[in-house]
Amino acid sequence: MKHGFTTLLLAGLFAVNWLSAAEKLNVLFLVSDDMRPQLGCYGDKLVKSPNLDKLAARGMVFNRAFCQQALCSPSRISLLSGRHTETTRIHSIGPFLRETMPDIVTLPQQFKNNGYFTRSLGKVYHVGIDDPPSWSVPPWHSKAPRLGPEGRDAMKKYVGEAKKIGRRLPAKGKGAANYAGPAFEAPDVGDDNLLDGDTTREAITALRELAAKPQQPFFLAVGFANPHVPWVAPKKYWDLYRDEEIPLPPNQFVPKNAPRFAATSGDDFYWYGKVPADRKITPEFGRQCLHGYLAAISYVDTCIGRLLDELDRLGLRERTIVVFWGDHGYYMGEHSWWGGKHNNYEGATRAPLLAAAPGMKAAGRKTNALVEFVDIYPTLCELAGLPLTDGLEGTSFKPLLDDPQRSWKKAAFSQYPKGGNFGTAMRTDRYRYVEWKNKKGEIVARELYDHQTDPQENENVADKPEHAKVIVELGAQMKAGWKVAKP
């Protein structure tokens, strides 16, 4: 009798891992580059994002999801490893994950190790900085052009002139061939004539091939290049918007009283052709930039809609977890920062996150719970019934999919190195608190933004006497770290 009870108990504990391959849930893992939470499901009334809004209607919108660093490669590596950037020790574009953590088991690798076919299409890790052990087959990248005819012609002209005078082409920076084209372009071409559409075409082909093997569960990751600058989308998406309807942000000034080194963003936007050399963005040019950004969002939205429609057509919806995320936030004129992130502020670290899982109880709901991108790894494993690897630093938010109002994390953490200092930002329910330390570990600056009275983070109030007590409390919470902030 005792032996039979033990057998039943073990069966109950591990049944989810004993599911047949046909019963295991698939994962469609969607990522968009530089997309901030500017979608209809996030309350934006201007953007046209019907397909992501449909996904939100059958899934969950995470209103307060934060990346661990507002830069493409560090953010993606952090998410895919389930570790904060202080653990991965990757804070720039360049290093591979296995240079600092050679024995790491990544999110897709954990699925591969548990019988899944894992595949990467497009920009999932950073282009050129991938992780072969994560995938069952080599990552695929489209050879379709990222730029339209104007951009390609500008690149060709730049390269030709450089060769004529024997000038060596720089790898990056102002004047490099990649930046010769305009910051925005609306070529009159079909969706699949540009990179993101062609990636979608390949992903649809992959879905059809995978559907033909129902005994093989899959983890399919699809990464889109837009709306990273340059904003290049077919003309029909540009035609969805009009310049005169696009408002400019009212707070085109840096946060008051913020440390000068901290209150900056990236420069790459200013390297593109036709962007004013003096960096003075007129209202007219600013609206055109926003126009291009919105068109790029709608282009990605349509691409994702095609994938979701194919998922339905193939009868895979009820067997597939779908998660969509943007790798970090983005500034489009707020604080006078255009086309950038590269800092520790809300607009750079807050990003879109949508999740839809078969059987979730709170489908169509939103949550204001604080979640971090390191939480995605354990969440997908739990939803799929996979064991967790050692060393994960996130918390599965599966409970939120059933109860979005439940008590959750006390804080979310992001980091960024700037001006020779290292900054750690802590977002609580009410505040964003940032400590900047020098190489000796000494605090050289603090920032405090009260989201109850200043949701746009327009003024740093860390040095105001009335906030002295809050600074002490938040400093202690910061010192305790992310482990204590878990629910």
pLDDT in tens, 432-447: 999 999 999 999 999 9
What is the pLDDT confidence band of residue 178, given thresholds at 50, 70 and 90? Answer: confident
Q: What pTM was computed for the model?
A: 0.93
Per-residue pLDDT tens digits for 252-279: 999 999 999 999 998 889 989 889 989 9
- The Cα–Cα gap between 129 and 141 comes to 12
Long-range contacts of 246-250 (CB under 8 A, 24+ apart): 246/46, 246/287, 246/290, 246/291, 246/294, 247/46, 248/283, 248/286, 248/287, 248/290, 248/333, 249/332, 249/333, 249/334
Q: Which domains does the chain have, with CATH numbers?
A: 24-149+180-409 (3.40.720.10)
pLDDT of residue 171: 46
- 72 is known as an active-site residue: yes
pLDDT of residue 21: 55
pLDDT of residue 311: 98
Look at residues 474, 391, 459, 381 and name the one whose alpha carbon lies nearest to residue 425.
474
Per-residue pLDDT tens digits for 325-378: 999 999 999 999 998 899 999 999 999 999 999 999 999 999 999 999 999 999
- 126 is known as an active-site residue: yes
pLDDT of residue 158: 77
| Mean pLDDT value of segment 449-462 | 98
Which residues share a beta bridge with 324?
A: 30, 354
Q: Are 231 and 154 in contact (CB under 8 A)?
A: no
Q: What one-letter code names the amino acid at 364?
A: G
Q: Is the pLDDT of residue 451 over 90?
A: yes
Q: What percentage of residues in the chain have a pLDDT greater than 90?
A: 87
Which of 66-75, 114-123, 269-278, 294-303 shows the lowest per-residue confidence on average (mean pLDDT)? 269-278
Which residues have C-beta within 8 Å of that of residue 99, sequence separation ≥ 6? none
Per-residue pLDDT tens digits for 312-339: 999 999 999 999 999 999 999 999 999 8
| Mean pLDDT value of segment 394-406 | 98
Q: How far is CA 380 from CA 9, 119, 151, 215, 395, in A?
A: 24, 16, 39, 20, 11
pLDDT of residue 47: 98
Catalytic residue among 41, 67, 84, 126: 126
Per-residue pLDDT tens digits for 286-297: 999 999 999 999
Catalytic residue among 72, 289, 303, 381: 72
Token pair, residue 209, equals 């091939």
Per-residue pLDDT tens digits for 27-54: 999 999 999 999 999 999 999 999 999 9
pLDDT of residue 23: 80
